[in-house]
């Protein structure tokens, strides 16, 4: 009985060996499981959208023929060691031409050196830590960097909120959180403010009450929590339960619907800097938001919008290069000027970091509402 | 200065949760000399059982919900002992320790697959208004849920002390702890005593998990770090001793909170564990532990 199925084996082998030269492979390293799997889900959605859009038109134009595009999504679990494995697998096993990813800066910092050494161009959608692209020729990003973001938040605190004193609680074990906390501290001090508390914790800590109680003693005007959306609501809840009533500020790591799902009312009245707001007017953005919302039934967050931009940046570079060659794609990427992204216009002026503006978003009744835009 | 009292409450809440876990480590070690590394994950399972009951059976009042979650988690703990540990009771020590680690990894992944990997919170069922008396008289902002968590935990520990020291089954437990080979010959059912010990330890861990999920948050991997902390607290106090597990837990939480409050949050784990190493150098058997000599 069972032997009968053996007859199917040659078919399977044929299926596995179907010619792949006709398709162009691009890798994606995203945290589809783990503590920030919600961000990985946004990435998957945006990639599905890009893949269907490009293949509906026959694929990307390489030289004189159209080639279909296949994105290979691998899970890096938001762990640096997994990101390194994923990058290696995508490059050596899947032989991808380019990579979208990774998402958190600590993961990008683990994957980027591997891609750099292999000469595979990378566009990270969401990694804002400066070190990700620093000194590397093949690594690009679609987002602004933390020195700019930290300044935006400090300006907002001293300007609109007229804050004189600020306190920070951040994850010292994560590159992103640490980098932006330090920039904010320096910028806020430069603008005449005073940092009255600068406290740390470690990734996966869940009790922040000792740090927050200490900060409560110095009674700051604003509390800056440059941490990820899965932790911030718990930190803020604990702060409120300890009687710490400062206005709370955050950064782009907050941008996910989970923030208000987990935090509820406690998040109301908080502000954070972000890459884009679904309330923007640009036509590219409007089309993207409409398509995404219809297909997935949820408004795209910044990670989704930046993934969409990153993947399209690569596809455009392939078309410009005119050949399926990683080095040529890298050169075309580096020469990108005025790319009309959902999150704003992207130009690489000699580095992998685009010069882009930021927006400040306010949380109101569980919704993210556009507050103001800041340009560099 | 008013924050010092608040910090003491922070430490007491954390210490209470550590103690509820540490007791399970200590009791099981006391009875069968087994370090059950899956115990931190039983604590995690307790938190998730609490979460499921709170979300699915929302109409249950808290005073029924919590015992129910404790009973269900106790059954899980007993099942783990029955299925995975009992056959290995006379096996090499190392095989059993590896098994406990394996059970822990199984539980983590089981919860991750069935419930999901996200961080969650148990919907608050205890009042979260500040305690007025403390605010007015001591200037400390402490919410009712924090106070209740500390008080209920202490009550559970008191009940445990009474069970172990004032009941027949408790006497049998202490007798088995004293000599596991001879006592069964006197008509004490060894398997029953071990089952009861796992049940009590798991039920207490479940209480810790529910409190933790309300005060902080829960995720499938939380048992690893907290399990280690509680295990260390049990060793500091003197593993095998109930009073020691409680004392070690509050001590560890106190040192952690005080380090953050008066030194630096960067040094929290460094200083806390550095001090504990020093403590063990002075008292190698833990504060309440009894020195044991092994005949060779």
Question: Which of the listed CATH numbers 1.10.10, 1.10.760, 1.10.287, 1.10.3470 matches domain B3-282?
Answer: 1.10.3470
The answer to whether residue A221 scores a pLDDT higher than 60 is: yes
* B261 has a chain A CB within 8 A of its CB: yes
Helix, strand, or coil (residue A345): strand
Q: Cα–Cα distance between B145 and A56 in angstroms, integer?
A: 56
* A310 has a chain B CB within 8 A of its CB: no
Q: Cα–Cα distance between B169 and B175 in angstroms, integer?
A: 10
**Inter-chain residue contact B117 with A204, CB threshold 8 Å:** no
Task: Give, in degrees to the nearest 5, the angle at Cα A197 between A193 and A202.
Answer: 130
Q: How many helices (H) and strands (E) in chain B?
A: 11, 0
- Average model confidence (pLDDT) across chain A: 90
Q: Which two tokens stand for residue A184?
A: 């904010």
Q: What's residue B295's pLDDT?
A: 58
Q: Cα–Cα distance between A113 and B138 in angstroms, integer?
A: 55
* pLDDT tens-digit map of B193-216: 999 999 999 999 999 999 999 999
Q: Cα–Cα distance between A280 and A290 in angstroms, integer?
A: 12
Task: Give, in degrees to the nearest 5, the angle at Cα A308 between A305 and A309.
Answer: 90
Of B141, B145, B265, the CB nearest to A199: B265
ipTM of the complex: 0.85
Q: What's residue A17's pLDDT?
A: 47
Residues B7-32 have a mean pLDDT of: 93
* pLDDT tens-digit map of A29-38: 999 988 788 8
Q: What's residue A91's pLDDT?
A: 95
* A93 has a chain B CB within 8 A of its CB: no
Find chain A residues with C-beta within 8 A of B265's C-beta: 199-201, 210-211, 214
The answer to whether residue A155 scores a pLDDT higher than 70 is: yes
CA torsion B12-B18-B21-B25 (nearest 10°) is -120
A31 touches A76 (CB < 8 A) = yes
* pLDDT tens-digit map of B88-103: 988 888 899 999 999 9
Q: If residue A85 lies in a helix (H) or strand (E), which one and from where to where?
A: helix A80-88
CATH number for region A9-144+281-356: 3.40.50.2300
Residues A265-282 have a mean pLDDT of: 89
Q: How far is B122 from chain A (nearest CA, A)?
A: 10
Q: Give the best residue of A209, A234, A256, A261 to mutate against chain B (max B CB count within 10 A).
A: A209
**Inter-chain residue contact A211 with B260, CB threshold 8 Å:** yes
Listed residue (A304, A310, A295, A311) closest to A24, CA to CA? A311
Alpha carbon A163 to chain centroid, angstroms: 29
**Inter-chain residue contact B6 with A216, CB threshold 8 Å:** yes
Alpha carbon B21 to chain centroid, angstroms: 1
* A178 has a chain B CB within 8 A of its CB: no
Four-residue CA torsion sign, A228, A229, A231, A234: positive
Residues B112-134 have a mean pLDDT of: 86
Find chain B residues with C-beta within 8 A of A238's C-beta: 216
Q: Cα–Cα distance between A219 and A113 in angstroms, integer?
A: 43
* B8 has a chain A CB within 8 A of its CB: no
* B178 has a chain A CB within 8 A of its CB: no
**Inter-chain residue contact B256 with A241, CB threshold 8 Å:** no
Q: Give the best residue of B261, B265, B269, B272 to mutate against chain A (max A CB count within 10 A).
A: B265
Q: Which two tokens stand for residue A314?
A: 């690569």
Find chain A residues with C-beta within 8 A of B122's C-beta: none
Q: What's residue A13's pLDDT?
A: 52
The answer to whether residue A20 scores a pLDDT higher than 50 is: no
Same fold flag, A9-144+281-356 and A147-274: yes
Per domain, the residue ranges of chain A are 9-144+281-356, 147-274
Q: What's residue A75's pLDDT?
A: 94
Q: Cα–Cα distance between B229 and B109 in angstroms, integer?
A: 21
* B117 has a chain A CB within 8 A of its CB: yes
The answer to whether residue B247 scores a pLDDT higher than 80 is: yes
Q: How confident is the model at residue B123 (pLDDT cuts 50, 70, 90)?
A: confident
**Inter-chain residue contact B260 with A207, CB threshold 8 Å:** no
Q: What's residue A291's pLDDT?
A: 94
Q: How confident is the model at residue A25 (pLDDT cuts 50, 70, 90)?
A: very high
* pLDDT tens-digit map of A182-208: 999 999 999 999 999 999 998 888 999
Q: How confident is the model at residue A312 (pLDDT cuts 50, 70, 90)?
A: very high
Of A33, A35, A242, the CB nearest to B6: A242
**Inter-chain residue contact A234 with B269, CB threshold 8 Å:** no
Higher pLDDT, A90 or B277: A90
* B121 has a chain A CB within 8 A of its CB: yes
The answer to whether residue A18 scores a pLDDT higher than 50 is: no
Per domain, the residue ranges of chain B are 3-282
Contacts of A360 (CB under 8 A, 6+ apart): A152, A156, A271, A272, A273, A274, A371, A372, A373, A374
Residues A347-360 have a mean pLDDT of: 89
Q: What's residue B293's pLDDT?
A: 62
Q: How confident is the model at residue A3 (pLDDT cuts 50, 70, 90)?
A: low
Q: How far is B217 from chain A (nearest CA, A)?
A: 6
Q: What's residue A5's pLDDT?
A: 58
Alpha carbon B135 to chain centroid, angstroms: 30
**Inter-chain residue contact A34 with B117, CB threshold 8 Å:** yes
- How many CB atoms are closer than 10 A to CB B283? 14
**Inter-chain residue contact B219 with A35, CB threshold 8 Å:** yes
Q: Give the best residue of A220, A239, A241 to mutate against chain B (max B CB count within 10 A).
A: A241
CATH number for region A147-274: 3.40.50.2300
The answer to whether residue A132 scores a pLDDT higher than 80 is: yes
The answer to whether residue B1 scores a pLDDT higher than 60 is: no
* B219 has a chain A CB within 8 A of its CB: yes
Question: What percent of chain B is modeled with pLDDT above 90?
Answer: 57
Of B118, B221, B266, the CB nearest to A200: B266
Four-residue CA torsion sign, B267, B273, B275, B281: negative
Higher pLDDT, A34 or A354: A354
């Amino acid at each position: 009985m069972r032997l009968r199925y053996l007859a199917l084996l040659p078919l399977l082998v044929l299926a596995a060996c179907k010619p792949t030269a006709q398709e162009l492979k691009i890798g994606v390293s995203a945290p589809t499981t783990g503590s920030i799997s919600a961000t990985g889900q946004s990435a998957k959605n945006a990639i599905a959208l890009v893949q269907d859009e490009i293949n509906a038109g026959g694929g990307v134009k390489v030289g004189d023929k159209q080639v279909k595009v296949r994105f290979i999504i691998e899970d890096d679990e938001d762990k640096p060691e997994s990101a390194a494995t994923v990058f290696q697998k995508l490059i050596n096993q899947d032989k991808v031409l380019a990579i979208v990813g990774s998402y958190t800066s600590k993961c990008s910092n683990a994957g980027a050196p591997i891609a750099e050494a292999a000469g595979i161009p990378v566009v990270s959608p969401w990694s804002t830590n400066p070190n990700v692209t620093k000194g590397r020729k093949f690594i690009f990003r679609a987002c602004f960097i933390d020195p700019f973001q930290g300044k935006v938040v400090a300006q907002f605190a001293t300007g609109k909120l007229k804050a004189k004193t600020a306190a920070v609680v951040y994850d010292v074990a994560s590159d992103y959180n640490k980098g932006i906390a330090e920039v904010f501290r320096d910028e806020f001090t430069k603008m005449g403010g005073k940092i009255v508390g600068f406290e740390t914790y470690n990734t996966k800590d869940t009790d922040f009450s000792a740090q927050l109680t200490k900060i409560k003693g110095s009674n700051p005007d604003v509390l800056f929590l440059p941490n990820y959306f899965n932790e911030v609501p718990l930190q803020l809840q604990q702060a409120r339960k300890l009687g710490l009533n400062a206005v709370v500020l955050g950064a782009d790591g907050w941008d996910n619907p989970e923030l208000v799902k987990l935090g509820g009312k406690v998040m109301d009245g908080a502000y954070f800097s972000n890459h884009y707001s679904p309330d923007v007017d640009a036509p590219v953005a409007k089309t993207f938001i409409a398509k995404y919302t219809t297909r997935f039934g949820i408004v795209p967050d910044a990670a989704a919008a930046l993934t969409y931009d990153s993947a399209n940046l690569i596809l455009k570079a392939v078309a410009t290069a005119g050949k399926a060659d990683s080095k040529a794609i890298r050169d075309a990427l580096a020469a990108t000027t005025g790319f009309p992204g959902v999150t704003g216009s992207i130009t690489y002026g000699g580095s992998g970091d685009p010069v882009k503006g930021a927006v400040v978003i306010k949380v109101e009744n569980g919704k993210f509402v556009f507050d103001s835009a800041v340009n560099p | 200065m008013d924050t010092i009292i608040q910090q003491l409450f922070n430490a007491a809440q954390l210490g209470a949760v550590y103690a509820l876990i540490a007791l399970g480590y200590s009791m099981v070690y006391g009875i069968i000399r087994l370090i059950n590394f899956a115990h931190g994950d039983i604590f995690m399972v307790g938190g998730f059982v609490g979460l499921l009951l709170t979300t699915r059976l929302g109409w249950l009042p808290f005073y029924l919900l919590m015992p129910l979650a404790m009973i269900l988690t106790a059954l899980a703990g007993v099942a783990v002992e029955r299925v995975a540990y009992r056959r290995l009771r006379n096996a090499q020590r190392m095989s059993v320790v590896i098994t406990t680690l394996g059970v822990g990894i199984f539980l983590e992944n089981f919860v991750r697959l069935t419930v999901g990997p996200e961080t969650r919170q148990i919907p608050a069922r205890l009042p979260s208004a500040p305690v007025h008396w403390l605010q007015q008289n001591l200037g400390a902002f402490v919410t009712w849920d924090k106070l209740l968590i500390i008080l209920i935990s202490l009550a559970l520990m008191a009940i445990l002390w009474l069970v172990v020291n004032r009941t027949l089954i408790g006497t049998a437990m202490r007798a088995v702890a004293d000599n596991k080979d001879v006592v069964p010959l006197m008509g004490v059912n060894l398997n029953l005593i071990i089952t009861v010990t796992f049940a009590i330890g798991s039920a207490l861990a479940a209480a810790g998990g529910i409190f933790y999920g309300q005060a902080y948050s829960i995720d499938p991997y939380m048992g690893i770090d907290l399990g280690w902390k509680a295990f260390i607290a049990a060793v500091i106090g003197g593993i095998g001793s109930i009073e020691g597990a409680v004392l070690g837990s509050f001590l560890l939480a106190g040192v952690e909170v005080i380090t953050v409050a008066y030194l630096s949050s960067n040094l929290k784990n460094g200083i806390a564990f550095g001090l504990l190493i020093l403590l063990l150098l002075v008292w190698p058997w833990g504060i309440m532990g009894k020195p044991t000599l092994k005949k060779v």
